[in-house]
Structure 1
Amino acid sequence: MVNKSNDAEKLARQVGDTLRRIRHDRKMSLQELATITEVSKLTLGNIERGEANPSLSVIWKIANGLTIPISTLLNEDKEVLVSRKNEGNDVVSTNGACTLQSIFDTSNYGSFEIHRAFLEPNSEYSPGAHQIGVIEYVTVMEGELKIKIQDEYHHLYEYDAIKFNGDVEHAYINPTDSVTVLHFVMTYTKPN
């Protein structure tokens, strides 16, 4: 049986170590990082020390501010990776509607990432707009998904997929009484 408390502590240390390494690589102060991410200096310091387990929305703010995929903060650096169901680093949205498991990314602040996501029954997850240049490819692996992209809705069923610019307001809605399982591929391009 997986010990979620130990997993959360391991994830908090990993995110903190990675964040500190990126900040030092970029020769940024904690205050500069706070300014570009809109996350308080105190919270960032706690994250770097592994004393805080950041929510999905805080991780998105950090990734967007640094213009990196969120999986850069979530995945361990290894040569060969096997991603198994329920063994990934779970990050939960603030409202508890969405659990994201990072699967793979490219190393060194890569240009793409792959995730599994579990959207709770009759719930909505609104990540907001991501950094400029993010393209999302979403496939429904189980269940149904309504996705709102700006003011337009798309209803997807099992194995349906959608591609869209993730740098606009969007939301994921599970209209059913069962968990919806999603597969994400996100690509990142540097703005000109």
Structure 2
Amino acid sequence: MKEQEDMQTKEVILQVGQLLRQIRNEQKLSLEELAKKTGVSKLTLGKIERGETNPTLGVIWKITKGLSIPLSRLMVIEDIVNVARCGEGFIIEENQMWRLETIFRYKKETGLEMHRACLQPYSIYEAEPHHEGAIEFVTVMKGKISIQVGQEMYELNEFDSIQFEANRKHSYENTGNEVAVLHLTMKYLS
């Protein structure tokens, strides 16, 4: 089982690298130009493109923000009809407190992407601001979450939802003693 997970992870890492190279080439950028736009070193970008490293969520955010693309654009390629099974999407973990799993990656036709996030008890996750014009929709599926958007704090209980402009600083806090589960939908300007 562990071997199969390792193989799947390697395949995803290779795919992320291939997609990054493709997008960089579409935008006619050299690795050096991309490094300047993203703040990620040329060496790290090269390793990602070659599938030699598993980038952190912070690095992926910097890259997608620098390229002005949604996070999920670097994720798994979809078919015309997709079924998203829990635990089978592209997963990024941040400090073992925040786990983000792609449910449906960005499609230009809809301007949407969807994720499932899990936040460990008594943890805070500070999200990077998204692209200009991005709108985030969050529904708490399990637990209770405090979401700070800018200077304002919002308390959400199970099945409560919030919508906000995601290009602002925002964070999620789980003050409860169980893992909180969130569904996040991002809407980008097409």
Q: Same fold (TM over 0.5)?
A: yes
- Structure 2, unmatched stretches of 5+, are none
Which residue of structure 2 aligns with residue 82 of structure 1?
83
**Once the 2 structures are TM-superposed, how far is the Cα of residue 15 of structure 1 from its aligned partner?**
0.7
Deviation per residue, 1:147-177 (Å, 9 max, x gap): 0111111110100000001101110111111
The answer on 1:71 being equivalent to 2:72 is yes
Q: Secondary structure at the match of 2:168?
A: coil
Which residue of structure 2 aligns with residue 112 of structure 1?
112
Deviation per residue, 1:67-126 (Å, 9 max, x gap): 111111112242222100111111112x22211111113435972201111111111111
Which residue of structure 2 aligns with residue 145 of structure 1?
145
Alignment of 1:18-167 (within 5 A): 18-93=19-94, 95-107=95-107, 111-167=111-167
Alpha-carbon separation, structure 2, partners of 1:56 and 1:113:
16
**Once the 2 structures are TM-superposed, how far is the Cα of residue 28 of structure 1 from its aligned partner?**
0.7
Alpha-carbon separation, structure 1, partners of 2:133 and 2:143:
29
Cα gap change, 1:32 to 1:108, in 2 (>3 Å): farther
Alpha-carbon separation, structure 2, partners of 1:115 and 1:142:
15
Per the normalisation by structure 1, the TM-score is: 0.92
- Structure 1, unmatched stretches of 5+, are none
1:145 alignment partner AA: I
Alpha-carbon separation, structure 2, partners of 1:184 and 1:116:
6
8 Å Cα contact 1:69-1:109 kept in structure 2: no
1:6 alignment partner AA: M
Q: How many residues are aligned here?
A: 189
Alpha-carbon separation, structure 1, partners of 2:122 and 2:174:
5
Alpha-carbon separation, structure 2, partners of 1:124 and 1:109:
33
8 Å Cα contact 2:75-2:105 kept in structure 1: no
8 Å Cα contact 2:130-2:167 kept in structure 1: yes
Q: Secondary structure at the match of 2:113?
A: strand
Q: Secondary structure at the match of 2:177?
A: coil
1:86 alignment partner AA: G
Alpha-carbon separation, structure 2, partners of 1:178 and 1:116:
16
8 Å Cα contact 1:138-1:182 kept in structure 2: yes
Further displaced range: 103-112 or 158-167 = 103-112
**Once the 2 structures are TM-superposed, how far is the Cα of residue 6 of structure 1 from its aligned partner?**
2.2
The answer on 1:184 being equivalent to 2:184 is yes
